Amino acid sequence: MRTGMMVWMGVVLLLGAAAPGAMAGPPEANVRQAYRMLLAEADKNKDGKLSMAECTPIFKTAQMAQQKCGFWDVNKDGTITEEEYVQQVARITSKKR
């Protein structure tokens, strides 16, 4: 299994997205830990954020990477920060209520 896929699966489990019937979003500490897990695998230059180039190998195609990574890059500056990640998880989980 590709490392990227393993990271994303770990993130889903850590966030509790796999828990059926969960109404509230995951605790912020879990979201931040999930982001740090992604960084540990994908942040090649160790600057504490994910660039589009670092995010791309996680996905099968460049087009899919652009779409998925672009979602997390809230301010569209080409990087995904921890705050953007936390913000988007909160946005996603609030829609599921």
Question: In the chain, where are the structural domains located?
Answer: 3-95
Amino acid at 45: N
Whether 77 shows a pLDDT value over 90: the answer reads yes
Predicted pLDDT at 4: 57
Look up the pTM and report it.
0.74
Best CA proximity match to 91, nearest among 11, 79, 83: 83
CATH architecture of 3-95: Orthogonal Bundle (1.10)
CA–CA distance, 7 with 77 (Å, rounded to integer): 24
- Per the model's pLDDT, the better-predicted residue between 50 and 16 turns out to be 50
Whether 26 shows a pLDDT value over 90: the answer reads no
